[in-house]
């Protein structure tokens, strides 16, 4: 496949997924973009392997058989390894992915994976590694964007950041699904969010997550 993604900063990408087909596909894609790749079937393989020297990032599935990917992410954070994490998730696990974002993940990607989105996420992960994220908006700019939202749009944003799906938000606010989709589109546009992951990050900066709801599964 031909990619129009700008050149990526080369680095070492670690993939942890229990699906051999996905590991092979990611290995091929990432190597074609100039990265070194190491793929593991489970976290234990990763822990037994030597840590790569230089810039690296981790692409981690949230469901690894009997292993909870988010629990493993927490272990890495506690160990202070400083490896940027990109979470892979099925559509039904998006609330889990939001939980991972709040725990410090760089991005999350819904399966089936989009090649361009994956390469862009890897690029952001290496930018995070090197500390060159100068294009991120400052808190004051984020607040100015938030101030342009209507009251209803703020409600929707708070519930999205809390991890609720559109149907759940519609039920929570007693609105139709099309109305929620429209409000959500307006929120994305006004906040300058290119993805749900972007919106979660912005919401955490603003501390606007609705604390009255909780949809995060506690185990895989």
Cβ-Cβ contacts under 8 Å for 8 (sequence gap 6 or more): 33, 34, 35, 119, 122, 123, 126
Q: What is the mean pLDDT of the chain?
A: 81
Position of tokens 């973009």? 33
- Top pLDDT among 184 and 71 is at 184
**Confidence at 216, pLDDT banded by 50, 70, 90:** very low
Contact 208, 161 (CB under 8 A): yes
- The percentage of the chain sitting over the pLDDT mark of 90, rounded to a whole number, equals 35
Architecture of domain 139-206: Orthogonal Bundle (1.10)
pLDDT 10s digits, 117-133: 899 999 888 887 766 44
Give the per-residue pLDDT at 131. Answer: 61
Q: Please indicate whether residue 177 or residue 125 has the higher confidence score (pLDDT).
A: 177
* Residue with the two structure tokens 């400052």: 138
Listed range (59-73, 127-141, 154-168) with the worst mean pLDDT: 127-141
pTM here is: 0.62
Q: Is the pLDDT of residue 15 over 60?
A: yes
- Please give the residue that has the higher pLDDT: either 93 or 194: 194
pLDDT at 181 over 90: yes
More confident residue, 94 or 124: 124
Closest Cα to residue 58, out of 79, 66, 1, 201? 79
Domain range summary for the chain, segments of one domain joined by + = 12-130, 139-206
> What pLDDT is attached to residue 172?
92
- Digit-coded pLDDT (tens) for 151-162: 999 999 999 888
Neighbouring C-alpha atoms within 13 Å toward the C-beta of 25? 15
3-class secondary structure per residue, 165-213: CHHHHHHHHCCCHHHHHHHHHHHHHHHCCCCHHHHHHHHHHHCCCCCCC
CATH superfamily, domain 12-130, is: Response regulator (3.40.50.2300)
């Amino acid at each position: 496949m031909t990619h129009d993604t700008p050149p990526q900063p080369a680095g070492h990408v670690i993939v942890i997924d229990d699906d051999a087909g996905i590991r092979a596909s990611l290995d091929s894609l990432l190597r074609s973009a100039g990265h070194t790749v190491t793929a593991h079937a489970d976290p234990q393989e990763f822990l037994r392997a030597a840590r790569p020297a230089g810039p690296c990032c981790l692409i981690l599935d949230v469901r690894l058989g009997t292993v909870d990917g988010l629990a493993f992410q927490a272990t890495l954070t506690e160990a202070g390894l400083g490896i940027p994490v990109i979470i892979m998730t099925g559509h039904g696990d998006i609330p889990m992915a939001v939980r991972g974002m709040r725990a410090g993940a760089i991005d999350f990607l819904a399966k089936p994976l989009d090649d361009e989105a994956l390469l862009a996420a890897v690029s952001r992960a290496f930018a995070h590694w090197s500390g060159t994220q100068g294009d991120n908006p400052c808190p004051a700019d984020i607040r100015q964007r938030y101030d342009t939202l209507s009251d209803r749009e703020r409600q929707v944003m708070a519930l999205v950041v809390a991890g609720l799906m559109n149907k759940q938000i519609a039920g929570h606010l007693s609105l139709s699904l099309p109305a929620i989709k429209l409000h959500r589109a307006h929120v994305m546009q006004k906040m300058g969010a290119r993805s749900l992951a972007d919106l979660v990050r912005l919401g955490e900066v603003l501390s606007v997550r609705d604390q009255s709801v909780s949809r995060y599964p506690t185990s895989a």
